Structure 1
Amino acid sequence: MALTPGLGGAFSWLGIIGLGLASIAGASNAEPADVVFRNGRIYALDDVSSVASALAVKGGIISALGADADTEPFIGVDTQVIDLHGRMLMPGLIDSHMHVLPGGLALLNCDMNYQPVDVNQLLSHIQGCIDGDGEKAKTDWLEVVNLDYPSLVTKSGEVNKRDLDKLQTERPIVIRSSDYHTVLVNSRALEISNITAATPDPPGGKIERLSGGQEPSGVLQDAGRDLVNPPPPTEAVRLEACRAALRLLRQAGITTFQEAVAGPDHHVLFSQLRGSDELTARAYFDFSIDPPESMEGVQALVSSTLAAIIRMQDTSIIGPKPTLKWQAIKGFLDGVITYPARTAAVVDPYWNPVNGSETSDKWAPDPSTMNQPYWSQEILNATLEGLFLAGIDAQLHVDGDLAVRYGLNAAQAFREKYPDRKGDFKLGLAHEELSHQDDWARFAELGVDPIMSFQWAQLSSFYIPSTFSSLGDYRKGNLQAHRRIEEAGRPIVYGSDWPIDPLDEFLALKVAVTRTGDPTNPNSPASFGPPYDGIFPGDPISRESALRAITINGARFLRAEAAIGSLEVGKMADLIVLERNYFEVPEEEIGRQRVLLTMVGGEVVFATDNAQSEFGVTPKFPNLSQTDGQLNRRAMGGFDRRDLSREGVAAVSILRRRGQCPHKHHV
């Protein structure tokens, strides 16, 4: 074996030799393995960043790791030997913040697929969805998902119900922005939902009004979204959505996920999939909670939350077969920093254009734009204290720097009150799109995990042109501060937040390493050319740091590092084989990666058609192209969006099945 070049010594001879000696020492008692991978570049991502060329799997567990020769004693008559032909093998991906059920429902919906469209393109696509459904759904609700709302506003100005009312339909229509904070509805949807000029703004939300009056415009922000309630999908449709989502996850190489907003419905659905042996990723669920109205309600909230989690938690030891783990809660402290929503809680005011025009080159702070977190500090501290003492971990949505500070303050309050319980809890703060320099070192000091979505550190319509102006130049260096938090002592944990963005984990890793998108990747805003093909403010992190964020760091946050997250003897055989070596391709090509094979607990759950031939494997589930071309046709660019092109967007107008997304970014 040779030392991997260009990695600054991260992958060392010491690690390679250590693996080899360990394997040889146990070889005399070796049992024949079920599978042996040989002739590869195997990155263990263990504590010493070891690299090997061979790996053996027995009973779903890694039984040997080292040089090709070290695995010879593990090859028996029935052992399947897979020649990797020099390809890279690594631990399976761990996505610590995603929304699998909503993502699956989105796969079955009429999908705008995050494309920057104007109002005419929007209406054209929706009309295609309506026409594709025919007469049978003439009056049913139509839900449209994954709209790039900031881009729509930038291209067409204010869009409201009057635009949607031009569609040739009697159906109520609800369009969900990809940030899940804004929806657009037509007049029929407002009528059915009893939203009138007399309807007040709900707590934590806003009903936008037509200019010069109180008439609802059809734009609903944050909690205003909940005023519109299409009939929920049936259990059969939700189950189909979970299957579709798991299919996409294994195709993306995700072997463990954390559903960041979950409730009993998730447990029912995923328990069915586990019972039918269709659960192809290790599932962790964050039980969603809202703040009580006062301190008097804290104890009741803690008690009811604990009772619910105990009913659903699988307490068994992690083994080869995926299980359902319920060990944490999810709460929302604020919304988003993006303009025009600006529902995130920030330390300093947002800026507004001096002359009222977004194209103005002069913006100034506006104190009226300040938002407080959805939880008071006192109630947050008390709630987390009760949960931590009961053994429940937490993940909090914090997008603005004031919300980040509230989360850190809660951790500090617990540390100070219980100085002897340092290892008793896990607190993850999700997103941190904007954080304050005074708080970066506090993550390490308090043992709080930053769960960040790398793909947001690329230029996009969510930042250009108005969000940057709304934040002011002095805060640009505090956006997506992955490296600053890491340099201050706390490693980053990765969470895609899918379906807020397309599920493209290696594009996200590319963005982390370069702070730029990929003009050849249709999932990247850079593919639309200037101005999105530039460099995002801030500093990148290393390739290894980025990869650890989506593997072993995620495992540590989930308290599962003894079983998953790295490739070590005795750990679960959760692994993926890549088309190209992540550590060796040029930086600009990191996001053009493809997973060839995904293994979970020793089972091959996905392999491309070519990989099946090259490696001689048959995956547990057939590939999409072999069984269900209709799923491909429902989505712009195909099921995994790999075929998406700007030219093809206008031609794709296939109806996806109706669904409801329970994702919440408010109280």
Structure 2
Amino acid sequence: MSASGTTMLMRILTTAALYAATNAIPAQQPSFADTVFHNGSIYTLDAYSSKVEALAIKDGVITFVGSNEDAKVRIGNTTQVVNLQGHAAIPGLIDSHMHILGGGIYLLKCDLNYQPLDLPGVLQHIQRCIDDEPDKPDDAWMEAVNVDYSTLTSRSGSVDKTSIDVLKTKRPVVVRSSDYHTILVNSRALEISNITAATPNPSNGVIERLPGSQEPSGVLEDNASDLLGIPLPSPEEAVKAALAAMQLLRQSGITTFQEAMALKEYDQVFQAVQQGGGLSARAFFDYRIDAPSSVAEVPDLVAKTVELIRGFDNNSTMQPAPSLKWQAVKAFLDGVITYPARTAALIEPYWSLVNGSNTTWAPDPSTLKKTYWEPEILARTLSGFFLAGIDAQLHADGDLAVRVGLDAAESFRKAHPGHDFRLGLAHDELSHQDDWRRFKELEVDAIMSFQWSQLAPSYLPNTFPSLAEYRRQNLQAYAEIEKAGRPVTYGSDWPVDPLDEFLALKIAVTRSGDPGNPHSSASQGAPYNGTFPGEGISREAALRAITINGAKFLRADKYIGSLEVGKFADLIVLENDYFTVPEEMIGRQRVQLTMVGGEVVYIAKEADQKFGNITAKYPNDDEASVALDRKAIGGLDRKQVSMKGAVNAARLRKRNECVHH
């Protein structure tokens, strides 16, 4: 045998020995498990990528992974035995970049879900939402969101306040277009907001008027919507929004999330959720900070923020039950690369159309922008937080913002070699090839939204030429960052995009959308059914980005992220085997069961009784769940829609601005 062959054999034998030692049945009779999963394809995502048949849980902790036969001795009279019937189980998903409360608030609205409706169809759904709230007072706002405004007007002609004044209600009604630019309100909403013929148009906004007069028509464009007297969500509404988000996370298989832009009010909201028994996922919060105007202001910013974060976080050790952790800050370095916004900071200029041409693009120096943070201020601020034991996540969309973030990490590494910190650069839509290796060298994490590497209205027709062809291979370069030695981490950025983690994983692998998934632009055909520039990554690498890699970024990989003895039992059971289905099927996945800390928190309706007599902590048919399903056309998970409506949803969904800045 060659030297290389001997080395490989020794590695295999060593790996086998280590795995056997970890999972060996001790000589004494083991204690009986609370739960045993068997007859499954259980992908552990441990260091050896082990696949096993069975898994045992005691007190919320995994006590055994291995074969069906060896699991039998763990089964006692009170053990809940779950027959997976060949289904795949994987670690619970960890989404490292979400906006959980904002997404939850939209779940509470009357959602038209981008459906191609005429005026009677729009009014019918809104009226149902109104009728479902008979006890609401006359001054309580009814907000309907995600209306397909172009289809509404093409089918029913122009609309104004009289179009929705016919609703049987005295309440102010707001109908928000899915493009975020147009709002339609009834007469009551204009009255409460004191928007009259004498009200001038605000900056960057238009109050449309009825023909031949100055009377507001009820159609408000862009910043004119700021004139509406809609109150901010009350603390009680915020708690309801968080609970609604928890339900969607359970259905999606998300067992841990990071809120990437938390405000101090979030602590009170989620404390109430936890104390009320509604926290069904592990919660991590990044506290939002803004750039100080000078270096002299940095120490005060750091000191006050550290005090606030430490006041929110109890610094306790993680337990099987979900908890709240505050350990990081969030800052924006720039905006977005997409046309026409182009607010992301780039190393070289965007390209613009030349002299009014419709086809000729050339570099436009006027588009160069600085990052929102001066590099020196950023470096000193991060240094203060890292030395205080506070980690950071930075919004960095353009290649200059990515570089400035990496430069700040390099500055700290040189000044404090060996110091342990976590820095995540979120999105990295455009990065420079000279910086890919620096993620590994500086131990910085790229937190990327894989679903953005599909052809979509956000890129076609104008964003691609605006970036110029020579930079297209640098878009969504997660494969290049991984090849340079630093595995990436996943963050959905929900609700900027629909919450569809498995579609994102499919796109990570193939760099193409899914014509059969309504959340993908490919469902509308050309020109979005092609392949995005650049390379994809393996299925395992993609799944690790949303499990163990996220756990490492959150400093929680000792407890979660893989299915190993001693870790918490956070796992999900899938409808189809992620690792064996054809590529085109990766994104057409439904979670059948979600478990957090050994407790089943969700069972899909179609899986009820499939795996035995299991009861989920949170039922699908309680009053709150039914109410959420009724608010949205297509239900809470938005999957109960016709394909025509689904295609329309994908067509309308554009990401032209960062809605969080």
TM-score, scaled to structure 1: 0.84
2:404 maps to what in 1?
Answer: 406
Could you give the per-residue CA deviations for residues 449-485 of structure 1, whole angstroms, max 9, x where no partner exists? Answer: 0000011111111111121122121221111111011
Shift of 1:23: 2.8
Q: RMSD over aligned Cα, in angstroms?
A: 3.5
Cα distance change on mapping 1:19 and 1:279 into 2, 3 Å: same
The CA distance in 1 between the partners of 2:643 and 2:25, in whole Å, is 57
1:597 maps to what in 2?
Answer: 593
Q: Which has the larger radius of gyration?
A: 2
Cα distance change on mapping 1:485 and 1:580 into 2, 3 Å: same
Cα distance change on mapping 1:583 and 1:241 into 2, 3 Å: same
The CA distance in 2 between the partners of 1:496 and 1:103, in whole Å, is 12
Shift of 1:651: 12
1:453, 1:497 within 8 Å by CA — same for their partners in 2? yes
1:323 maps to what in 2?
Answer: 323
1:307 maps to what in 2?
Answer: 307
Task: Please tell me whether residue 354 in structure 1 is matched to residue 354 in structure 2.
Answer: yes
Could you give the per-residue CA deviations for residues 42-81 of structure 1, whole angstroms, max 9, x where no partner exists? Answer: 1111111111111100000000111122222211121122
Could you give the per-residue CA deviations for residues 619-657 of structure 1, whole angstroms, max 9, x where no partner exists? Answer: 1111148874332222132110112235347999xxxxx
**Which residue identity is paired with 2:313?**
Q
Equivalent of residue 499 in structure 1, options 495, 500, 505: 495
Shift of 1:264: 2.4
Task: Please tell me whether residue 641 in structure 1 is matched to residue 658 in structure 2.
Answer: no
Cα distance change on mapping 1:400 and 1:632 into 2, 3 Å: same
State which drifts further: 11-20 or 640-649: 11-20
1:123, 1:164 within 8 Å by CA — same for their partners in 2? no
Secondary structure of the residue aligned to 1:592 is coil
Equivalent of residue 471 in structure 2, options 456, 469, 475: 475
The CA distance in 2 between the partners of 1:141 and 1:520, in whole Å, is 36
The CA distance in 1 between the partners of 2:639 and 2:417, in whole Å, is 50
Equivalent of residue 571 in structure 2, options 550, 572, 575: 575
Q: Which runs of 5+ in 1 are unaligned?
A: 1-8, 201-205, 211-216, 653-662
1:16, 1:66 within 8 Å by CA — same for their partners in 2? no
Equivalent of residue 630 in structure 1, options 627, 631, 637: 627
The CA distance in 1 between the partners of 2:540 and 2:605, in whole Å, is 29
The CA distance in 2 between the partners of 1:273 and 1:356, in whole Å, is 54
Could you give the per-residue CA deviations for residues 104-158 of structure 1, whole angstroms, max 9, x where no partner exists? Answer: 111112435467x7xxx69887656655537978776565555899xx79x999x
% identity of equivalent residues: 51
Task: Please tell me whether residue 433 in structure 1 is matched to residue 413 in structure 2.
Answer: no
1:336, 1:342 within 8 Å by CA — same for their partners in 2? yes
Cα distance change on mapping 1:320 and 1:341 into 2, 3 Å: same
1:37, 1:55 within 8 Å by CA — same for their partners in 2? yes
Cα distance change on mapping 1:397 and 1:646 into 2, 3 Å: same
TM-score, scaled to structure 2: 0.85
2:91 maps to what in 1?
Answer: 91
Secondary structure of the residue aligned to 1:249 is helix
1:445-484 to 2 correspondence within 5 Å? 445-484=441-480
The CA distance in 1 between the partners of 2:473 and 2:296, in whole Å, is 41
Q: Which runs of 5+ in 2 are unaligned?
A: 1-8, 166-170, 209-218, 650-657
1:426, 1:557 within 8 Å by CA — same for their partners in 2? yes
**Which residue identity is paired with 1:665?**
H
Shift of 1:356: 3.3
Secondary structure of the residue aligned to 1:394 is strand
Secondary structure of the residue aligned to 2:251 is helix
1:86-165 to 2 correspondence within 5 Å? 86-111=86-111, 113=113, 131-132=127-128, 133=130, 143=143, 145=145
Shift of 1:567: 0.9
State which drifts further: 88-97 or 603-612: 603-612
Cα distance change on mapping 1:646 and 1:260 into 2, 3 Å: same
1:32, 1:75 within 8 Å by CA — same for their partners in 2? yes
The CA distance in 2 between the partners of 1:627 and 1:603, in whole Å, is 21
Secondary structure of the residue aligned to 2:45 is coil
Could you give the per-residue CA deviations for residues 229-288 of structure 1, whole angstroms, max 9, x where no partner exists? Answer: 731122222211111111111111111000111122221121112112221110001111
Secondary structure of the residue aligned to 1:339 is coil
1:660 maps to what in 2?
Answer: none
Secondary structure of the residue aligned to 2:540 is helix
2:279 maps to what in 1?
Answer: 279
**Which residue identity is paired with 1:343?**
T
Could you give the per-residue CA deviations for residues 292-313 of structure 1, whole angstroms, max 9, x where no partner exists? Answer: 1222221121111111101110
2:183, 2:225 within 8 Å by CA — same for their partners in 1? no
1:79 maps to what in 2?
Answer: 79
State which drifts further: 327-336 or 541-550: 327-336
Cα distance change on mapping 1:42 and 1:539 into 2, 3 Å: same
1:141-220 to 2 correspondence within 5 Å? 143=143, 145=145, 168=164, 173=174, 175=176, 183-185=181-183, 220=222
**Which residue identity is paired with 1:639?**
L
Cα distance change on mapping 1:126 and 1:234 into 2, 3 Å: farther
2:524, 2:648 within 8 Å by CA — same for their partners in 1? no
1:350, 1:369 within 8 Å by CA — same for their partners in 2? yes
1:364 maps to what in 2?
Answer: 362
Shift of 1:99: 1.1
Secondary structure of the residue aligned to 2:486 is coil
